[in-house]
Structure 1
Amino acid sequence: MTDAPTTLTLTTETGDVVIRLRPDLAPAHVAQIACLAAEGFYDGVVFHRVIPGFMAQGGDPTGTGMGGSKRPNIKAEFSSEPHVRGTCSMARSSNPDSANSQFFICFADSAFLNRQYTVWGEVTDGMDHIDALPKGEPPRSPGKIIKAVVA
């Protein structure tokens, strides 16, 4: 029996989004996200980039897309897992080993991201709350993560 977290629940203004964590694909990324969530890092953080038909990105405490946590960046853990609706993957710069705290959730199939971004989870419930996020880069009134809880 393991005490490793299996889900991440993001409470948004419209409801809960439940994400099944995938340590089998990206153990270091799942560990980083779980630690950040447990520390309250994601609480109050906005979705600063929401592109219809593509993805919603959050996890930057500055809300600009340029920030991250004080933790070290993580080496890429690319896999053959496809980027499809509900896939949770890490955002990064052009350096494959630059993922830190920012992540995105795919609205639709995005095969061009496959094997280039680290998949760490999948939305199992509440995708309608991601669909409901205000759109924009950045949105005029961005949706936010009220609380992030690992279980």
Structure 2
Amino acid sequence: MSEFNTLTLTLDGGDVTIKLLPDLAPKHVERIATLANSGFYDGVVFHRVIAGFMAQGGDPSGTGMGGSQEPNLPQEFNSHPHVEGVCSMARTNDPNSANSQFFICLDDATFLDRQYTVWGEVTEGMEHVHALPKGEPPREPGKILKARAE
């Protein structure tokens, strides 16, 4: 079981607190926490933010095509619904291709249920996620100033 309970993302607007869900996705929680505490996400932008859908980040290249040096993760799909504030892993068409990119749901996205790995949910600071600049990519993307897991 993961020793981490929360992830804090410091954005331009303020802190976003995410409750980690290691009981649903232990490998994904471990990856996110390890990358966060290594400084991997510090300075990384939200490269795809679609109003009424989700905000995606976690790619150090800022293009949506990159990831970490770690191997891809096997899927840990679960029944937790993709609703506002839920944090889930981005991936390619291969269900076992999640690496470092993730998204935060801005609204109901339950059509993604059981197809993407839910690993957390925002408990505080959702207004800062909603305030991220929109676009694919945004002209001036919002950035994770610092990410830390505890």
Q: Which of the five TM-score ranges fits, normalised by the shorter chain?
A: over 0.9
Name the residue aligned to 1:92.
91
Cα distance in 1, alignment partners of residues 110 and 5 from structure 2: 25
Name the residue aligned to 2:30.
31
Name the residue aligned to 1:113.
112
Query: What is the percentage of aligned positions where both structures have the same residue?
Result: 69
Which aligned runs of 4 or more in structure 1 are off by greater than 6 angstroms? none
Cα distance in 2, alignment partners of residues 125 and 64 from structure 1: 28
Name the residue aligned to 1:79.
78
Aligned-partner residue type, residue 66 of structure 2:
G
Cα distance in 2, alignment partners of residues 131 and 84 from structure 1: 14
Cα distance in 1, alignment partners of residues 22 and 107 from structure 2: 23
- Kept in 1, the 8 Å contact 2:2–2:30? The answer is no
Trace 1:1-150 onto structure 2 (pairs within 5 A). 4-150=3-149
Cα distance in 2, alignment partners of residues 87 and 147 from structure 1: 20
Aligned-partner residue type, residue 24 of structure 1:
D
Cα distance in 2, alignment partners of residues 57 and 3 from structure 1: 24
The alignment's C-alpha RMSD in Å is 0.9
Inter-CA distance 59–3: structure 2 relative to 1 (3 Å threshold)? closer
Structure 1 residue 57: Cα displacement: 0.1
Cα distance in 2, alignment partners of residues 5 and 25 from structure 1: 13
For structure 2, the residue ranges without an aligned partner over 5 or more in a row are none
Aligned-partner residue type, residue 77 of structure 2:
F
Aligned-partner residue type, residue 53 of structure 2:
F
Matched position secondary structure for 1:124: strand
Aligned-partner residue type, residue 66 of structure 1:
M
Length, aligned pairs only: 150
Structure 1 residue 111: Cα displacement: 1.1
Structure 1 residue 3: Cα displacement: 7.5
CA offsets 1:27-67 (integer angstroms, 9 cap, x no match): 00000001100100000000000000000000000000000
Aligned-partner residue type, residue 147 of structure 2:
A
